[in-house]
Amino acid sequence: MNFLVLRPARAFALFLVVSLMAVLVPRTPAQAGKAQENHIVQVAMKNVQYHFTQDIAVHIVQLQGHLSPTKPGSMVVFDDKNSFVLAMDSSEIAMTCNSLAQVLNQNVFAAKDAPVKAVTMEIKDGQLDIKGKLHSKGDVTFEMTGTLSAEPDGRIRLHAVHVKAAHLPVKGLLDLLGLDLSKLINTKKVQGVAAEKDDLILDPQQILPPPKIQGKVTAVRVQGNEIVQVFGSLQASNFAAKQPGNYMAYHDNDLRFGKLTMNAADMYLIDMDAHDPFDFYLDHYKDQLVAGYTKLTPEFGLRVYMRDFNKLRSSNRTTTARNNHDAGSPR
């Protein structure tokens, strides 16, 4: 397939041109009817390090699903992570212990009266080791070691094997007093975490920051210092299966970015360096876009080659140094 190539300085301009062209391309009645019906945009991802925030990121090994607008009748707005829900039919997602700890600290237990504070995590001997402070008990330090499993309803159960408070074993004392972990840690005021006897149950759909995700965890395991979650089941087909390298692909219906709208979306965000995961941060995607280049397919599809977010600074320094050198060189 032939492509029209445009270099970094004109990438956003091409984005504008393609969007206007896409608006003018007539859609079939079936396409138009589908867009009016649900405004759902198909999505596929492969080997993406996806940043929710500066401190919270997940490694999406693979994903198939769709984006649906949060407001009925509206469309997906790429720039606004609160405008859509990422529904996963099939995915494998890994999260480091540090990222999950930040999710709990910054999202789940962020309120001043939250029962738990200052959470840290690591994997020890194949089990998840959690440390923190019991804020509701005068900031007494605690440590809990447990195993992970997937619940039938799609949540994740952390079964407490050992619990310590102030460096002293607690679980036996709780049993002796007729108490359990659910009474020690009151989770009524937090979202996405429930306590059941000596177990904590996490709901990935509720604990992560926007964009909101939907999906049923069917398996969970620890791997190195990561927690790997499997959502749904592998799908029979993938519209982006022929795309090599690391990517985020969007297909079907209307997709808005900036002030522009692409009808019958056909947009692939592709990693410029496939040797490592595609490091993507939605809050800074325009910087990644400008640092790359864009191709236009004969069918008015967009192939946007983007620089990894974690390489932007070094790239910008190199570009600045080169520009300064060129400015000082004799003509």
Tens digit of pLDDT for each residue in 224-246? 999 999 999 988 889 999 999 99
Angle, CA 167 vertex, CA 164 and CA 172 arms, to 5°: 35
Give the distance, in angstroms, between the CA of residue 206 and the centroid of all CA atoms in the same chain: 13
At 78 the pLDDT is: 93
Residue 29's H or E segment, with its range, is helix 29-38
Residue 168's H or E segment, with its range, is strand 168-169
Measured between its terminal Cα atoms, the distance across the chain in Å is 40
For residue 201 the two structure tokens come to: 């149950």
**Residues 128-140: pLDDT tens digits?**
999 999 887 788 8
DSSP 210: S
CA gap 293, 303 in Å, rounded: 9
Nearest to 315 by CA among 43, 126, 205, 284: 284
CA gap 264, 158 in Å, rounded: 43
**Pairing mode, if any, of strands 247-251 and 212-214?**
unpaired
For residue 138 the two structure tokens come to: 């005068």
SS (H, E, C) 105-118: HHHHCCCCCCCEEE
At 169 the pLDDT is: 66
DSSP string, 212-225: EEE--EEEEEEETT
Q: Is it true that the peptide bond before 69 is cis, omega within 30 degrees of 0?
A: no
Cβ atoms of residues 66 and 250 within 8 Å: no
Give the domain ranges of the chain.
97-213+215-227
Cβ atoms of residues 3 and 303 within 8 Å: yes
At 165 the pLDDT is: 79
Contacts of 149 (CB under 8 A, 6+ apart): 156, 157, 159, 220
Cβ atoms of residues 236 and 272 within 8 Å: no
For residue 117 the two structure tokens come to: 């504070």
DSSP 310: G
**Residues 75-107: pLDDT tens digits?**
999 999 999 999 999 999 999 999 999 999 999
Give the distance, in angstroms, between the CA of residue 23 and the centroid of all CA atoms in the same chain: 29
Cβ atoms of residues 95 and 58 within 8 Å: yes
For every one of its 331 residues, what pLDDT tens digit does the chain have, with 9 covering 90 and above? 555 554 544 544 554 444 444 443 444 555 444 444 678 999 999 999 999 999 999 999 999 999 999 998 899 999 999 999 999 999 999 999 999 999 999 999 988 888 889 999 999 999 999 999 988 778 888 888 999 999 999 999 999 888 887 766 666 545 544 556 777 676 676 789 988 888 889 999 999 999 999 999 999 999 999 999 999 998 888 999 999 999 999 999 999 987 788 999 999 999 999 999 999 999 999 999 999 999 999 988 999 999 999 999 754 544 434 444 444 444 4
CA gap 86, 63 in Å, rounded: 10
CA gap 272, 278 in Å, rounded: 8
